[in-house]
Amino acid sequence: MDNFTHVHTHSHYSLLQALPKVDEMVERADELGLDSLALTDMDAMYGVIEFYKACEEADIKPIIGVETHLAPRSRFDDQTGVDKPQNTIVLLARNRVGYESLIQIVTKANLEGFYYTPRADHELIRQNSEGVIGIVPRRHSEVTSALDADDTTKTINIISTYKDIFGVDDFYLEITRHPEIPAFNEMTDEVIGVAEQTDTSLVAGHDIYYLDQEDHQACKTLRGVQSGTQLHYLPENSNFSFLSPEKMQDRFEDQPEALENTAKIAERCNLELDLGEAIFPDIEIPDGMTYDKQLREEAFAGIKRRDMKKTDEVIDRLEYELRVIENKGYSSYFLVVSDIMDYADENDIPTTIRGSVTGSLVTYLLGITNVDPIEFNLQFERFLNPQRPSAPDIDMDFADDRRDQVIEYVREKYGKEGEKRVAQIGTFGTMAARGSVRDVTRALGYSYDFGDKIAKNIPMGSQGFKMTIDRALEESDDLKEMYENDSKVREVIDMAQKVEGCARHISVHAAGVVISPENITNHVPLEVDSKKGEIITQYDMYSIDDEYGGVGLVKFDFLGLKNLAVLSDTTDRLKRRVGKKIDIEEIDFADDVTFKLLSNGHTHSIFQLNGEGMTEYLKKLKPSNIHDINAMVALYRPGPMKFIPEYIDRKHNPEKIEYPHEDLEDVLEMSYGLLIYQEDVMLTAIRLADYSWLEADKFRKAMGKKIPELMEKQEKKFKSGCVNNGIDKELADELWERIKPFAEYAFNKAHASSYGRVAYQTAYMKANYPLEYMAAVLTGDAGDVDKIADIIDECNRMGIEVLPPDINEREANFTVVSNPDNTEYHTAGTTTDKTIGEIRFGLRSIKHVGDKITKVLVNERKENGAYQSLEDLLTRVTDSNLNKQVLEALIKSGALDDFAERHHMLAHLDELIAVSKQARERSQSQQSLFGGGSQTQEAPSLHLHKGEKHDKETRLQWEKQLLGLYVSGHPLDKIREQLQKRDKTINFVKENADTLPKAKIPGLIEQINEIRTKNGDPMAFLTVTDHTDSIEVVVFPDTYDQYKEKFSADSCVILSGKVDDSDDEVSIIMEKAKRIETG
């Protein structure tokens, strides 16, 4: 049927209201022979670029539209009970102008009109009506609401208003037919009548929310996932499926013109979008300069700034890179990134760059990157080769506590008054396998536990390979059994499969920011993120970035890296202590103390190099240069990990170094002849198999996707290229086998060099300035009790004593209290009993205290002196955040020990809160009376009678709970004498695991994790600690059944069993246990 198309449809981008994926909808249109199709998602344009491209590929004309809610009055009104939207209007773009009009309407409906949902109004639509076709929908419209109220005058006025807005030729009343819904068709007849009365064109529609009628219940379930969907409920047994042209013909045989008008609309809609062309932001440059000249000038100036010699190699490479950048038209892009990094540098914000950009000499000379690509033999073409069709990515890392400051700078620098040129990119959360099961269970009215039981039997996916319900049913025998034997489980899983993959919400992308040379809404619609309040794009990165065929705005990635914040905090602390600021980019990258620390395995709190597996390899490797660090960053991941032993062997036995081919010797020299980086693989293909850089890049991507067809094609191309170059077939086969493990996880060398540098910097600071570094690490994880406890264990090993919190001492964060020798110390590479210094526990790291009240407490103390008593504290700090929970946490953690005994204060906690409340009320009264001026208050007198004294074990439990560590002692103190009689501490067992078949250790059970085997038998994993370390103890079912009565958290035991270090993590497989009574 050539005279019909669907002009009112919804995809899953009508969040939690409709089911169809965009590609499924277009595929259905193609199957039914439609030559055009509209997309009119609710209140958003999330899917229009994906839809446009899918239609183009299927040779179907895309009609871009939106269905937007209307404010009952103005979009600026939000009176409760009055301004909640009930009606909508469908808008279609006739051309590029109309498309931009829709963007403006959608953006302002979100930014200006949001109340329950985005809302437009007549004024907004009138201002942006050029190039737009308006359709009043049959359901939930102003016209049907007026007809339902028998208000003919209002009905006619509404139609007249819209004709004035859109023009007579571009305005329609939609009619739909639903004989299955009582009284529905009668109202449709009324719409037909008013159309005849007002000489208004009709258009036949069906308001699609799913493809097949059998999906009706799934769509209702999807709507049940989100509360409030009753606004657009689906009536029981109604049909909102994707009807064929023939079925639409049957429904509207009495209204042939309404059917023909769908084709008329399609003829009038001729939107053409230029996709995949990069649109770079502008940057101010001196008069008379071009972007190319400015970039060239700054790059050459960088040679002097970097203290490089103007060798032929440097000049030739620089000229080559500049030529490629200029020919591509990317100069302004590089200047913008350089400006952003300059701002960070000028404001002491630590940065690094991830990814292949580190291979560029231009970026090194501009100060964007910090690794010399010539020294590290990094290839520019891995980042940008002349044949690359899209703009390259430059991913910027900033100290995570300063990242927002940089983004704010970009907003101010590149935004223009009255225009929005900078926005963070939106990203969609979809209903994954486990999540869809839980959501569906709740929507169907089943219990949380029922859904959780099903979901937990769905295996986790792996990196790059998401788990699906279909795959889970194949891989999980337990899930398959539940599905086959339980009808309720089958109902949930069948329904979850229908909603799986649907977009659930939009949020802020973790890093992506777009900068436009003009108002960003000339290209993309915007909205406000509901959680963070940030303005974000409605298009995700795949609809924006030129690399993915998007609208072309270039994505800038602003990432936050905690380790950079730790480094910055460390250097700031050092400047306060010794008066000098250490530039982490100018440290000694061949420091023996640093390499000794790594070789000894003291990698805790070091970026990229921590964890037991990595640590064990480093102890064997004994790194002696930065290239070893880079290699370990790249190799320690699935696939390449199996080459680590050979890398270590070749390092220590140079005679074993050999190269796969003589043409690769200069490429593989730093890695002892081994292929370990993406660049190694690409250069192998280029040099031995005659690949171009573009072909090598496609080769790398094909390997990463691990698609059998692509892999097979590349294998043939690679091997035949090698043979054609005179390389032995057996060597070609061997090279291919070497390459395959990199298929999924290989790092590029430039990225490893960049992150390896940061890894080394953290190791250097820990080795040379352990007090400041560990205080910064503790501060970085403040508030996470479990992580704090782990870090403090490392402090104890290093000889750093962590003191309990004190309301009157130091800052809100962890603070270095003393350094006995006031020197730079080199003890982090060893375990020591000598105390090298002290760190005071930060107030804000006490559980339940938090940032707000901590700032109040510290600021008041700084302004008016130390707190003299408990009364003084309660009188001076009148902030409402000093509540019962906070005060109790301060008491139990020991922060108020200077004022009174903990049990005395706890016994009078209600009285203390009453005093605090009285002081707050007096303060508020005085501020009102004296206009906010501070008045001296006399501290009330508190008389704390003795309460019930708590034993030492209770106090220790409080400290462990609130601080993550024991401060005033240790539960094992009572049996210290027994422990000292034994030479096998946990630390001893872990350090000598390779020579200890069995061990018998006393310790404290910190945690019991009971699980069940596949046979349903209970077993347990225990975390056991002593004064030296902690260890995992595995208790298999028979042993657990025999001894489980002896196990409880915080109980002291003596355990014996086999020492197991087979997985690079030392554990004990328990055989016997004895409880130690400490009373």
Q: What is the pLDDT of residues 859-884, one digit of tens each?
A: 999 899 999 988 889 889 888 888 99
CA 66 centroid distance within chain: 29
- Tokens for 1051, please give them: 């109980």
Mean of the pLDDT values across residues 688-711? 83
Instruction: For 623-648, give one letter per residue: b (16+ CB within 10 A) or e.
Output: beebbbbbbbbbbbeeebeebbeebb
Q: List, by residue range, all CATH 1.10.10.1600 domains of the chain.
A: 432-500
Mean of the pLDDT values across residues 586-605? 95
What percentage of the chain carries pLDDT values higher than 90? 57
Q: Please give the torsion angle defined by the CA atoms of residues 601, 607, 610 and 615, in that order, rounded to the nearest 10 degrees.
A: -40
- Tokens for 691, please give them: 């690949």
Q: List, by residue range, all CATH 2.40.50.140 domains of the chain.
A: 971-1076
Query: Going edge to edge, which strands form the sheet with 526-528?
Result: 351-354, 395-399, 555-561, 503-515, 422-430, 535-537, 526-528
Mean of the pLDDT values across residues 6-21? 95
**Which pLDDT value is given to residue 982?**
64
Q: What is the pLDDT of residues 237-296, one digit of tens each?
A: 899 999 999 999 999 999 999 999 999 999 999 999 999 999 999 999 999 999 999 999
Please, are residues 1052 and 1017 in contact by the beta-carbon 8 Å criterion?
A: no
* Model confidence band, residue 788 (pLDDT cutoffs 50, 70, 90): confident
**d(C-alpha 698, C-alpha 362), whole Å:** 24
- Tokens for 400, please give them: 């995570």
Contacts of 662 (CB under 8 A, 6+ apart): none
- Tokens for 966, please give them: 């024991």
Q: What is the pLDDT of residues 108-129, one digit of tens each?
A: 999 999 999 999 999 999 999 9
- Tokens for 898, please give them: 């200077």
**End-to-end C-alpha distance for the chain, whole angstroms:** 89
CA 501 centroid distance within chain: 19
Please, are residues 829 and 768 in contact by the beta-carbon 8 Å criterion?
A: no
Tell me whether strands 171-175 and 132-136 are parallel, antiparallel or unpaired. Answer: parallel
Helix, strand or coil for residue 557? Answer: strand
Closest to 132 in 3D by CA, of 235, 238, 40? 40
Which is higher by pLDDT, 580 or 295? 295
Complete DSSP assignment for 238-290: ---S---HHHHHHHTTT-HHHHHHHHHHHHH-------S--BPPP----TT--
Please, are residues 593 and 829 in contact by the beta-carbon 8 Å criterion?
A: yes
Mean of the pLDDT values across residues 1066-1078? 85
Does position 471 have pLDDT exceeding 60, yes or no? yes
CA 114 centroid distance within chain: 26
Query: Which H or E element spans position 65?
Result: strand 61-70
* Model confidence band, residue 1053 (pLDDT cutoffs 50, 70, 90): confident
**d(C-alpha 429, C-alpha 466), whole Å:** 13
Mean of the pLDDT values across residues 700-715? 80
Mean of the pLDDT values across residues 1049-1059? 85
Q: What is the pLDDT of residues 393-447, one digit of tens each?
A: 899 999 999 999 999 999 999 987 667 899 999 999 999 999 899 889 888 888 8
Please, are residues 528 and 536 in contact by the beta-carbon 8 Å criterion?
A: yes
Which is higher by pLDDT, 1046 or 935? 1046
Of 251-260, 679-688, 819-828, the one with minimum mean pLDDT is 819-828
Cα–Cα distances in angstroms (integers) from residue 524 to residues 45, 63, 872, in the given order:
9, 17, 57
Which is higher by pLDDT, 8 or 532? 8
Q: What is the pTM of this model?
A: 0.81
What percentage of the chain carries pLDDT values higher than 70? 92
Helices (H), 289-423: 291-305, 312-328, 331-346, 361-366, 380-383, 403-414
Amino acid at 729: K
Q: List, by residue range, all CATH 3.20.20.140 domains of the chain.
A: 22-268
**Which pLDDT value is given to residue 449?**
84
**Which pLDDT value is given to residue 844?**
81
Please, are residues 688 and 723 in contact by the beta-carbon 8 Å criterion?
A: no
How many other C-beta atoms can be found within 10 angstroms of the C-beta atom of residue 218?
20
Assigned CATH for 432-500: 1.10.10.1600
Q: What is the pLDDT of residues 1011-1048, one digit of tens each?
A: 887 777 888 999 888 877 788 999 999 999 888 888 88
The dihedral sign for the CA sequence 446, 447, 450, 453:
positive
**d(C-alpha 239, C-alpha 260), whole Å:** 22
Please, are residues 1024 and 1069 in contact by the beta-carbon 8 Å criterion?
A: no
**d(C-alpha 45, C-alpha 107), whole Å:** 10
Query: Which H or E element spans position 537?
Result: strand 535-537
**Which pLDDT value is given to residue 986?**
85
**Which pLDDT value is given to residue 938?**
55
**Which pLDDT value is given to residue 626?**
96
Which is higher by pLDDT, 931 or 14? 14
Which is higher by pLDDT, 132 or 923? 132
Assigned CATH for 971-1076: 2.40.50.140
Angle between helices 952-963 and 785-798 (to 10 degrees): 110
Which is higher by pLDDT, 313 or 698? 313
Please provide the average confidence, as pLDDT, over all residues in the chain. 88
**Which pLDDT value is given to residue 922?**
81
The dihedral sign for the CA sequence 662, 668, 672, 674:
negative
Residues in the chain: 1079
* Model confidence band, residue 947 (pLDDT cutoffs 50, 70, 90): low
What's the 3-state SS for 641-661? HHHHHHHHHHHHCHHHCCCCC
Does position 679 have pLDDT exceeding 80, yes or no? yes
| CB-neighbour burial class of residue 109 (10 A; exposed 0-12, middle 13-18, buried 19+) | buried
Contacts of 319 (CB under 8 A, 6+ apart): none
User: What DSSP state is assigned to residue 358?
Assistant: G
Q: What is the pLDDT of residues 67-108, one digit of tens each?
A: 999 999 999 999 998 999 999 999 999 999 999 999 999 999
Contacts of 560 (CB under 8 A, 6+ apart): 397, 398, 399, 400, 401, 403
* Model confidence band, residue 747 (pLDDT cutoffs 50, 70, 90): confident
Please, are residues 552 and 274 in contact by the beta-carbon 8 Å criterion?
A: yes
**Which pLDDT value is given to residue 1079?**
54
**Which pLDDT value is given to residue 942?**
67
CATH topology of domain 22-268: TIM Barrel (3.20.20)
Angle between helices 678-689 and 749-768 (to 10 degrees): 150
Contacts of 774 (CB under 8 A, 6+ apart): 605, 766, 791, 794, 795, 798, 800, 839
- Tokens for 712, please give them: 């097979």
Closest to 11 in 3D by CA, of 48, 53, 55, 41? 41
Does position 722 have pLDDT exceeding 50, yes or no? yes
* Model confidence band, residue 464 (pLDDT cutoffs 50, 70, 90): low
**591-596, Cβ contacts within 8 angstroms, sequence gap of 24 or more:** 591/764, 591/767, 591/768, 593/767, 593/768, 593/826, 593/829, 594/760, 594/763, 594/764, 594/767, 594/768, 595/622, 595/623, 595/624, 596/767, 596/829
Contacts of 167 (CB under 8 A, 6+ apart): none
The residue with tokens 């003795």 is 946
What's the 3-state SS for 936-969? CCCCCCCCCCCCCCCCHHHHHHHHHHHHCCCCCC
Does position 810 have pLDDT exceeding 90, yes or no? no
Q: What is the pLDDT of residues 962-1007, one digit of tens each?
A: 887 777 777 777 666 666 666 678 888 887 887 888 888 888 888 8
**d(C-alpha 185, C-alpha 203), whole Å:** 15
